[in-house]
Amino acid sequence: MADKALLKEFEAIVGADNVMSAEAETHAYSYDAAVLDSVAPAVVVRPTETEQLGAITALCNKHGLPLTVRGAGTNLSGGTIPSKGGVVVLTGALNKILELNMDDLYARVQPGVITAKFAAEVASKGLFYPPDPGSQTVSTLGGNVAENAGGLRGLKYGVTKDYLMGISFYDVNGDLVKSGSRTVKCVTGYNLPGLMVASEGTLGVFNEITFKLIPPPQAAQSMMAVFDDVLDASRTVSAIIAAKILPATLEFMDNFTIRTVDNFRKAGLPTDAAALLLIEVDGHPAQVAEEAEKVEKICKEHNAKSVEVAKDAEHRAKVWQARRDALPALANLKPTCVLEDATVPRSRIPAMMEALARISKEFDLTIGTFGHAGDGNLHPTILTDKRNEQEWHRVEKAIDAIFDEALAMGGTLSGEHGIGLAKSKYMEQETSRATIEYSRRMKKSLDPKGILNPGKIISALLD
Amino acid sequence: MADIQKLVTMLKELDDQLVSCMRCGMCQAVCPVFAETGREADVTRGKLALLDGLAGEILKDPKGVKEQLDRCLLCGTCQANCPSGVHVMDIFLKARAILTGYFGLSPAKRIIFKQLLTRPELFNKLTTFGSKFQGMFAKPVNDVLGTSCARFQAPLIADRHFPSLAAKPFHKSTKPMDEPAGKSGVRVAFYPGCMVDKVYPGVGHAVLKVLKHHGVGVFMPHGQACCGIPALSSGDRESFEKMVATNADLFSNADFDYILTPCATCSATLKEIWPTMVDNESLKARIGPVADKVMDVSEFLVNVLGVEAMEGAAGKKVTYHDPCHLRNSLKVTAQPRTVLQASKNASFVELPNAATCCGCGGSFSLHHYEISKKIGDLKAKTVEDSGAETLATSCPACMMQIADRLSQRGHSIPVKHVIEVYAESLGS
Ligand SMILES: Cc1cc2nc3c(=O)[nH]c(=O)nc-3n(C[C@H](O)[C@H](O)[C@H](O)COP(=O)(O)OP(=O)(O)OC[C@H]3O[C@@H](n4cnc5c(N)ncnc54)[C@H](O)[C@@H]3O)c2cc1C
Ligand code: SF4
Ligand code: SF4
Ligand code: SF4
């Protein structure tokens, strides 16, 4: 419980209704979507005007209070688990789309706007905002920037950072920093928008974001290719790209996931297949027709048992439902579901699949793998019960092993879920001691008291 | 008050169900209460975390948790959309029972559930009395009924625009029935539910008219008790079981093909909650076969009698609101629309966001009137914007809530039960 005087100060900024300190309220902000221990904050504040963000930040800094900004709390790396005795700042009420500019193709938004709502609003104006994380119906744009979220369309259309033109944020003193611009080109000063991407709330508190919008593709074609051999499927991925075709989406599912999904919705998937590729090409109708044909051919050349091309919108929806069902179906199997996002260069996907099979055997764990094959971003999903201590210990070991493998292949710790608390300890392994020291010096000078989301990304102890 | 250790032990029994929530937060997209308040403790994930915290003794404020748990419409939308398949309704109902066991039932509820709803005859007398004198004695009636049936405490709240208790409840204007199967070859048991009985008897008469038209034999004993959901959602499992037992006495030995109700909540309660929430084994065995035969009225008309949509019906524009319990629990969405499309003097238009909750939620609307009102206004606005001349739905509680909101907003769009629209089209 925070002391009364302090609560009064917060109340003066956001009003008494928007300050929560009762146990049964603060406990609801002690976790996020990562499988980690929860920590309740002392106070939760819910600003209703973006200016209040600055005042809150300044107040926290004055008192040396740890401050964690929370969008929807769907990140998978513990980024919104607060520090003990800290303050959680909610952006849910800062949910206005400030401008949709049809002439210059950009949008200005507050950080709490929900991703899918924004995309729908943009679409209703005949434009396109491509980043579509699986959590888009609830995740916020502020959270997307802070995690550099990506989605199914990452391969062709890129991720959140590729649409970020400008961002303004409050520094620890509560002063407003403006960066980037509404112009397509801008090289004024340091690339601060770039610095804010993937900063996970450790460098500043975003109050307004400017995104680039693009014209939508006119046509799309989806297909499902069935393979008897995981390696054939993986090689197909490289072959498609090598043929200079960039599908909008190129997703992978292993046999375990296929069977689980089929069992979940009885969708009539080929349960004996070793792997599925779900592919969508989009663009100009003529180009789509040509590319779809080529992709089909490449799949067959790489021993695809069958390639099902979606006949109509309904059929297309069915193909993607199978992909959307992957996580829920797996999550239904066991109480705890650890979703990792180890990412490797595309050409190493076959090797990574072999490594995952080995790890699953070695640690005697059930692992289902699906993910964004097109960008090498796999989601090995470990199914377990965290209450089983012995097994949980093996899970932790298996996660270490997965990252060892991914890094050894020139891959990365996180394709999209961020580092947060969960992967901070592996940071040095991927980068270098100097990288962490550099980042820490930067953090120290920008946030001398270390109040901005402490403990995240670069804070695991160096030996 | 029992001791807290006992509470923790009881909550631990929920553990297996609680751990299945993976905290993904996807429930935020669908919870109508969260949409209004934006507070995590109001959405499923938050409530499950609070229960988990209480069970794990990380959190030591059972009263606070109970208050948060009560801020829920029990609409089941989260459960229907939960990727992890968490049995949210089961957890919430059990947790409410556990917490109520710990704190004890409020004195008003104690009287209402234990003395009134468990005794259908007395309940009937009192509401008849209430209906005669409600103008004069609004206050005393309010005291008794104000917190009684989760489904019709609402009409007695001061500033609402509510339908009054019917001058003549359904059971007074009908005799007990025990007919053989008619030309359809089907015989059904009819369970009107207390809200139809006491507030919307017209719906009950419409059902009988339709059944007669199709040659369906009806078995309808008098003395039916409430389905028990008001008691259960307030955490009173004992009274709930008593009500179930009274109904079991009437229905479990009778011979019929289906048991029909025109109340979405009753259907869901009979079919899903009776078998899962009754503890007593012999009672469970008796009600199992009854629960298996439960059908919503529209579902019966379409699936069993084969009522079909007609081409180009040209009547008044009618639209449809999906009651949560019909859609989320029983997955019945197509049949009520088909029945409307089978009604000669109605032309059906789809309602945007037909599936969002109307915000009633039984006692929720009493304790959290402001939130309930806002959720209801969203629904009323889409109805107004749809240009429909009639709003039809399949749950009397939704009828009441939506009629209240429309009327408060100055719109006189009639609100009817689907079966009423259909019955009217059959002529007299
Ligand atoms: C089912 C599921 C599917 C998912 N699918 C994907 C996917 O396909 N791709 C993907 O990339 N991710 C995915 N995620 C992860 C997650 O949804 C994303 O990281 C998302 O961007 C988080 O958004 P949020 O609003 O929930 O942010 P939060 O989780 O609330 O916060 C994330 C981080 O952003 C910081 N932050 C939030 N707002 C601000 C602000 N205004 N200023 C400064 N810092 C801020 C927080 O402090 C925190 O460190 C998925 C998660 C789930 C549960
Ligand atoms: S959607 Fe289901 S699993 Fe996800 S947080 Fe809500 S209740 Fe838990
Ligand atoms: S039952 Fe309805 S109101 Fe209650 S938590 Fe679920 S979605 Fe929200
Ligand atoms: S759900 Fe139906 S029977 Fe049950 S209390 Fe409500 S109206 Fe009465």
Tens digit of each residue's pLDDT (9 = 90 or more) over B75-103 = 899 999 898 889 999 999 889 888 887 88
Measured CA to CA, the distance from residue A238 to residue B419 in angstroms comes to 59
Q: Which residues are paired to A176 by β-bridges?
A: A170
Selected residue with higher pLDDT from A111 and B360: A111
Confidence of residue B260 (pLDDT cuts 50, 70, 90): very high
Locus of tokens 């199978």 = A322
Tokens of A65: 């209070």
Check pocket membership of B198 for ligand 4, CB cut-off 6 A. Answer: no
CB–CB contacts below 8 A, A to B:
93
**Protein residue whose Cα sits closest to atom 7 of ligand 3:** B31
* B38/A327 CB distance under 8 A: no
Q: What is the pLDDT of residue B114?
A: 65
Q: How far is A189 from chain B (nearest CA, A)?
A: 37
Q: How far is the CA of A381 from the centre of ligand 3 (A)?
A: 28
Nearest CA in chain B to A22: B64
Does residue B134 surpass a pLDDT of 50? no
Q: What's CA A110's distance to the chain center, in Å?
A: 19
Does residue B146 surpass a pLDDT of 70? no
Tokens of A289: 């027709």
User: Which is the closest atom of ligand 3 to the Cα of B79?
Assistant: 6
Nearest CA in chain A to B21: A335
Of B26, B29, B49, the CB nearest to A27: B49
Question: Which of B115-124, B134-143, B268-277 holds the top average pLDDT?
Answer: B268-277
Q: What is the pLDDT of residues B289-314, one digit of tens each?
A: 999 999 999 999 999 999 999 887 67
- Lowest-confidence region among A215-229, A327-341, A351-365, B183-197: A327-341
Name the nearest CA neighbour of A234 among A399, A411, A369, A364.
A369
Pocket test for ligand 2, best of B86, B89, B91 (most atoms within 8 A of CB): B86
Ligand approaching nearest to the C-alpha of A29: 1
* A135/B26 CB distance under 8 A: yes
Mean pLDDT along residues B101-130 = 66
Q: What is the pLDDT of residue B156?
A: 38
Does residue B14 surpass a pLDDT of 60? yes
Name the nearest CA neighbour of A366 among A357, A375, A378, A354.
A357
Q: How far is A228 from chain B (nearest CA, A)?
A: 29
How far, CA to CA in Å, does A305 sit from each of A262, A270, A291, B204?
Answer: 18, 10, 20, 58
Selected residue with higher pLDDT from B250 and A188: B250
Ligand approaching nearest to the C-alpha of A324: 1
- Beta carbons within 8 Å of A4's beta carbon, 6+ residues apart: none
Question: Where do the structural domains in chain B lie, given as residue ranges?
Answer: 1-103, 308-425
Class of B308-425 per CATH? alpha beta
Cβ < 6 Å from ligand 2: which residues? B 21-27, 44-45, 48, 78, 82-84, 86
Does residue B220 surpass a pLDDT of 50? yes
Contacts of A138 in chain B (CB under 8 A): 25-26, 28-29
B64 inside 8 A of chain A by CB: yes
End-to-end CA distance of chain B: 58
Q: What is the pLDDT of residues B22-64, one digit of tens each?
A: 999 999 999 999 999 999 999 999 999 999 999 988 888 999 9
Of B23, B67, B85, the CB nearest to A33: B23
Measured CA to CA, the distance from residue A94 to residue B52 in angstroms comes to 30
CB contact residues (below 8 A), chain B span 80-119, against chain A: 83-85
Q: What is the pLDDT of residue B119?
A: 67
- Lowest-confidence region among A49-63, A399-413, B94-108, B173-187: B94-108
Helix B62-70 with B88-103: angle, nearest 10 deg: 130
Nearest CA in chain A to B17: A335
Q: Which residues are paired to A221 by β-bridges?
A: A281
Check pocket membership of B86 for ligand 4, CB cut-off 6 A. Answer: no
Mean pLDDT along residues A103-107 = 96
Q: What's CA B255's distance to the chain center, in Å?
A: 26
Does residue A261 surpass a pLDDT of 90? no
Selected residue with higher pLDDT from B146 and A106: A106
Does residue B149 surpass a pLDDT of 60? no
Mean pLDDT along residues A155-176 = 96
Q: What is the pLDDT of residue B404?
A: 85
Name the average pLDDT for chain B: 85
Q: How far is the CA of A341 from the centre of ligand 1 (A)?
A: 14
Substitution target in B22, B70, B72 with the highest count of A β-carbons within 10 Å is B22
Confidence of residue A463 (pLDDT cuts 50, 70, 90): very low
Q: What is the pLDDT of residues A126-136, one digit of tens each?
A: 999 999 999 99
Measured CA to CA, the distance from residue A369 to residue A422 in angstroms comes to 20
* A23/B64 CB distance under 8 A: yes
Measured CA to CA, the distance from residue B141 to residue B265 in angstroms comes to 24
Topology of domain A217-331, CATH: Alpha-Beta Plaits (3.30.70)
Mean pLDDT along residues A146-161 = 94
Contacts of A93 in chain B (CB under 8 A): 38
Q: What is the pLDDT of residue B361?
A: 75
Tokens of B363: 């006692």
Q: How far is A444 from chain B (nearest CA, A)?
A: 32
The one-letter code for the residue type at A445 is S
Q: Dihedral of CA B62/B68/B70/B76: which sign? A: negative
Q: What is the pLDDT of residue A194?
A: 96
- Lowest-confidence region among A44-53, A222-231, A255-264: A255-264
Does residue B334 surpass a pLDDT of 80? yes
Q: What is the pLDDT of residue A23?
A: 93
Name the average pLDDT for chain A: 93
Q: Full-prediction pTM beyond 0.90?
A: no
Topology of domain A334-425, CATH: Alpha-Beta Plaits (3.30.70)
Neighbours of A321 (CB within 10 A): 12
Q: Hey, is A393 helix, strand or coil? A: helix
B4 inside 8 A of chain A by CB: no
Mean pLDDT along residues A308-328 = 84
Q: What is the pLDDT of residues A43-95, one digit of tens each?
A: 999 999 999 999 999 999 999 999 999 999 999 999 999 999 999 999 999 99
- What share of chain B in percent tops pLDDT 70? 84
Mean pLDDT along residues A170-197 = 93
Q: To which H or E segment does residue B282 belong? A: helix B281-292
Q: How far is the CA of A29 from the centre of ligand 2 (A)?
A: 15
B339 inside 8 A of chain A by CB: no
In chain B, the largest separation of any two C-alpha atoms, in whole Å, equals 65
Q: How far is A39 from chain B (nearest CA, A)?
A: 10
- Domain B1-103 and domain B308-425, same fold? Reply is no
Check pocket membership of A318 for ligand 1, CB cut-off 6 A. Answer: no
Of A28, A74, A116, the CB nearest to B41: A28
Q: Hey, is B348 helix, strand or coil? A: strand
Nearest CA in chain A to B63: A24
Sheet holding B187-190, edge to edge: B177-178, B217-220, B187-190, B258-261, B294-296
- Beta carbons within 8 Å of A184's beta carbon, 6+ residues apart: A165, A212
Does residue B138 surpass a pLDDT of 50? no
- What share of chain B in percent tops pLDDT 90? 53
Nearest CA in chain A to B59: A23
Check pocket membership of A143 for ligand 1, CB cut-off 6 A. Answer: yes
Q: What's CA B336's distance to the chain center, in Å?
A: 16
Statement: A97-212 belongs to CATH 3.30.465.10? yes
Topology of domain A4-90, CATH: 3.30.43
Does residue B182 surpass a pLDDT of 70? yes
Class of B1-103 per CATH? mainly alpha
Q: What is the pLDDT of residue A461?
A: 59
